[in-house]
Every structure is written in structure tokens, then in C-alpha cells.
Structure 1
Amino acid sequence: MAKDIEVGGQGGFSAKDYHDPPPAPLIDAVEFTQWSLYRAIIAEFIATLLFLYITVLTVIGYKSQTDETKGGEVCGGVGILGIAWSFGGMIFVLVYCTAGISGGHINPAVTFGLLLARKVSLVRAILYMAAQCLGAVCGCWLVKAFQSAYYSKYGGGANELSAGYSKGTGLVAEIIGTFVLVYTVFSATDPKRNARDSHVPVLAPLPIGFAVFMVHLATIPITGTGINPARSFGAAVIYGKEKAWDDHWIFWAGPFIGAAIAAFYHQYILRAAAAKALGSFRSSSHM
């Protein structure tokens, strides 16, 4: 039973009992008859398109401004810090805009983690991932259409393993980076926490955006920072050079493994197992 909680000396209020929502079905044929599904798919497509358009343009713009052969300066442009802000800021904006429509995934790894936690159905997850990948391809195509001369010259924003790093290092960087992101998503959108702290839903996009920003600061020198298979896939498809595909598997395997670990950690260690352990302790204690 929930207990009365004293708030700021102003008196008490009765906290509502909280119950976890039921797990989403793996396959729900009814979803295909609902406009909300198709609206969400469109939202994921457009959000991922905008995400890739802005961020890849930022990457290419930075490289062109620091190209000394073209009169650029080594310290010119937005720098790595600016690139990280571009990715984190766009995620913040797009999650804020689409959270009420599709959940604001904008990343197959996030969708995969939520699928494992039974937060979305298998049907919705597959359609989301397809929309995200297609949106990423279209976003990169727009960049190439507007900046064709610079696009190929400066790598098309494609993720590549940097020289001096092994494939194992790149894979681990992607796993840990995606774990940070997906763990933040679970924590920021935890319905139990939202029921307790009414301000959390308003702030949810902010920590998610900051997580993307911080991970980019750490891993841009290693892999260019994927942590989003759609982002890596879209850039590789439009750029089309062999180098972009050489280690492409890292940018799928790493994020999916990281998302799976984050889902397990949050759902079965922090939430379920901890609650059961606490209940067992209370039932066995002598008052």
C-alpha cells in the first residue's frame, strides 16, 4: 500500500498505487487497422530524415572549413564539440517533437531495446526500423543533392573505424556508447518514475539529447560515433564507397548488443529483481 508523503511541511497527500503497464504483444493484427501506427511510422521517417540532414551537413561543413588545401583553418568551423552538439541537440528537438506520436525512437537500437523490454510490438518495431533506415537514406540523399561537390570529397558523413584502432575497440566503443543512450532512454521514460515525479515527462528529451552529446564527445575519434544503425546505414548507402562498408557490421552489432544489455539491466536488475528482493526482505522481517 502507498503511504502518505509529507511535502514541504504543507501537509500530506496520498500517493497513487503504481502498476506496470502490460507488456506489448509480439504480434497484434489490430495495429494494422489503426491510423496511429501509420502516423507514428511517418513521424519516425521524417524525424530520422531531418536528423541525418542536419547532422551530416554539420560534419561536412566542419571538414570543409578545416581543409587547409582550400584555404580553411585547422581551428575553423564548429569543431568536434560542435558536431557533438549537433547530434545531441537534434535528438533533443526531435524526441520532444515526436515523443507523443511515435515515442521518438529515431534509432533502430532504441527500438530494439524497447522491443526486448516488451514496450513495443514486434510489428511496430520492424516497421519503425524500416522507416528509420529509409528516412536516413533520404536525409543523406538530400545532403548530397545540395552539396554534391563537398559530399564525396569529405566522406559523406559515413562512419568509419579510425586508423590505429582495432575492430574490437570499435565494437566495444559502440556497445558502451549505445548502452549509455538506451539506458538513459529507459530511465527518462520510466512510467513508474513519471508517476512519482510529474516533471519527468517534460524533461525526458533533455537527458536523452545530453547522452547522445556526451557519447559523441567520447567516440568520435574512434568510430565517428554510430550508436544508431540507421544513421550509419543511410550515410554508407549514399556515400557508396568501399571504405564505408568495410567495418559496417560494427555499427549494427555494437548498437544492438548495447541496447540489449541496457534493456536487461534496467528491466531485470534495476526494476524487477530489485523490487522482488525488497518485497522478500519486507515479508521476512519481524516488526
Structure 2
Amino acid sequence: MEGKEEDVRLGANKYSERQPLGTSAQSKDYKEPPPAPLFEPGELQSWSFWRAGIAEFMATFLFLYITVLTVMGVKRSPNMCASVIQGPSWAFGGMIFALVYCTAGISGGHINPAVTFGLLLARKLSLTRAVFYMVMQCLGAICGAGVVKGFQPTPYDVLGGGANKVNHGYSKGDGLGAEIVGTFVLVYTVFSATDAKRSARDSHVPILAPLPIEFAVFLVHLATIPITGTGINPARSLGAAIIYNKERSWNDHWIFWVGPFIGAALAAVYHQIVIRAIPFKSKG
């Protein structure tokens, strides 16, 4: 604990609070970390690699378990119109806050293949780790939704099992657009909240990182639940679709993969090129 307090004290002294606006505010002492290697076979021999995958599995499992139960509970409500958006929005956002806080130090707290994909494009992790995370996230989501159905098989089928679909009155294009923009908001927030440059300058950033991510998830759900039920997480959509396994859960399923991956890619490009201007920084 003493060491951590010393780090915070030194960080506060090293980076003055009164910094000019714009690019000149960036500390000369900060060095951009090197990009992660595309393939890192040595990871497979490391316990931290497997532990991180297990953490992603467990986090996504818990995420699906709580959120699917919440969606089902809201659909049972006699006044569903008043609660359909706020209840699930708080459940999804709150669970992301708790799970990112718990797993960020182990796996990075992705809990979402779209987040992992965006960070892969930004070379924040290797392809080996990204694929492993995505597989574990999907398996965790399937198990989480499966446990809900195991506990409540009849209500699960009657209430839709939390499966995503484009709702009546909206086109597939509307659904795709909502998923692209919603995932962009989420992944852009993840990049900003976990930016190593900000972490170096502001010691409180790593502690507060789950909070803006939670609010991004919450606000995106408020906006897009009426359109698609809000996917923005391919693992979440896949887990519910596999366990529910009705035709209507598969008709629009491609939207909940294509949309989030496009949104994540756009967020990665925007943050790395426009916000951080990494390609334009001098190599010297």
C-alpha cells in the first residue's frame, strides 16, 4: 500500500495540473508502448494467459446470467412500457461496471468480442490472445444463458430468452446502424477510459475506468433497446440465440456480429488516428 501511495504522489508531482490545452499538453516523458506482436506463441505457456481467458469466461457467464434474468423479469412486469428500457439498461451497465472492475487487472475486462476486436486492431493485444478471449467470451455467454434456462425453462421460452432481434417497425438497416453506432460509443469510451497516456498523467484514471464504460453501456441501451434490444456484444447475442434457438432469434443474428465489429473498427481507427494521431508522431 505504501508503494502505491508513493507512485500516486510521484505521478502527481511529475504531471502538473496546469497543462496547456491541445497536443502540447502531452508530457514529453511519456513513451508510447510498442504494439503487441501479432503472434505470441510463448503466451500459451504462461498461466497468466489461461487465467485471463478463464476470467473472461466467468465474467461473460455472470453478465449473461444477470442480464437475461433482468430482461425476463421486465417482460413479466404489468407496466412493461415504463420499465422496459430503464431496468435492463441499469442491469447491463451495472454488471459491466462490476465485472470490468473485477477483471481489468487480470484480462483487461473486455467481456465483449467487439471490444477485443477493437483493441486487436489497435495492436493492444496479440491475435493469439484476442481469439482465445473471443472463444471464452462466447462459451461463457452460452453457459450463462443456459443456466437461466435450466432454472426457468418455461418462462425462458415464453419470454424470449433475452435473444436480440430487430423489433417491429424498424428495418434491418435501422438495426445495423443502431448496432454500429452503439458499439462505436462503447469501444471509443473503452479506448479513452483506458488510454495509457491518460493513465500516466492522471493517477485516478485506472480506478475510474469502469465508470464511464458503465455509463456508455447504460446510455446505449436507453437509445437502442427499442430498435434491437441492444446487442453491441456478439457473445451476448450468440449465447441468448443458441439457448433460445427459435427462428426469430436467428433471422437477424448477422446484424449483431457485423454491426458491433464495424463499430469497433471505426472506434479503433478514430481513436488511434484522429485522437492520438499515432501514425503522425515522430519516430525519433
Q: Distance in 1 between matches of 2:217 and 2:17?
A: 34
What count of residue pairs does the alignment treat as equivalent? 262
2:117 is the alignment partner of 1:84? no
Q: Which amino acid aligns with 1:48?
A: T
Q: Indicate conservation of the 8 Å contact 2:15/2:201, yes or no.
A: no
* Contact kept? 1:64, 1:150, Cα under 8 Å: no
Query: What RMSD over aligned residues (CA atoms) do the two structures have, in Å?
Result: 1.8
Could you give the per-residue CA deviations for residues 252-283 of structure 1, whole angstroms, max 9, x where no partner exists? Answer: 0000000000000000111125964xx7xxxx
Which position in structure 2 is the counterpart of 1:56?
68
Q: Which residue of 2 aligns with 1:144?
A: 149
1:266 to 271, 274, 281: 271
- Where 2:110 maps in the other structure, the secondary structure is coil
Residue 114 of structure 2 corresponds to which residue in structure 1? 109
1:178–1:255 contact (8 Å) kept in structure 2: yes
**Is residue 2:203 matched to residue 1:198?**
yes
Q: Deviations over 1:208-251 (max 9, x none)?
A: 01100000000000000000000000000000000000010000
The counterpart of 2:35, out of the listed 16, 23, 39, is 23
The separation in 2 between residues aligned to 1:166 and 1:141, in whole angstroms, is 29
Q: Which runs of 5+ in 1 are unaligned?
A: 9-14, 67-72, 280-287
Deviations 1:114-153 (A, max 9, x none): 0000001000000000000000000000000111121000
Other-structure match for 2:178: 173
Say if 1:7 and 1:19 are closer, same or farther in 2 by CA, change over 3 A. Answer: closer
Deviation at 1:194, TM superposition (A): 0.6
Q: Is the 8 A contact 1:181 1:212 kept in 2?
A: yes
Q: Deviation per CA, 1:22-57, whole angstroms, max 9, x where unpaired? A: 111111111011000000000000000000000000
Give secondary structure in 2 for the equivalent of 1:156: coil
Q: Secondary structure at the match of 2:277?
A: helix
- Residue 283 of structure 1 corresponds to none
- For the residues of structure 1 that align with 2:97 and 2:30, how far apart are their CA atoms? 28
Q: 1:95 aligns with which of 95, 100, 103?
A: 100
Structure 2 counterpart of 1:62, one-letter code: V
Identity of aligned residues (%): 69
- Cα deviation for residue 79 of structure 1 reads 3.4
What are structure 2's unaligned runs of at least 5 residues? 1-12, 19-26
AA at the equivalent of 1:37: F
Contact preservation (8 Å) 2:56, 2:110: yes
CA–CA separation in structure 1 for the residues paired with 2:280 and 2:41:
33
Structure 1 length as normaliser, TM-score?
Answer: 0.88
1:4/1:120 Cα in 2 relative to 1: closer, same or farther (>3 Å)? closer
Which range moved further: 251-260 or 267-276?
A: 267-276
User: In the TM superposition, what is the alpha-carbon distance from 1:167 to its structure 2 partner?
Assistant: 0.6
Pair 1:45 & 2:57 matched: yes
Name the CA shift for 1:248/1:6 in 2 (closer, same or farther; >3 Å): closer
**Could you list the per-position Cα deviations for residues 70-97 of structure 1 after superposition, in whole angstroms to 9, with x for gaps in the alignment?**
xxx4567x53201100000000000000
What's 1:216 paired with? 221
Provide the secondary structure at the position in 1 that maps to 2:276.
helix
Change in 2 beyond 3 A, CA 1:126/1:4: closer
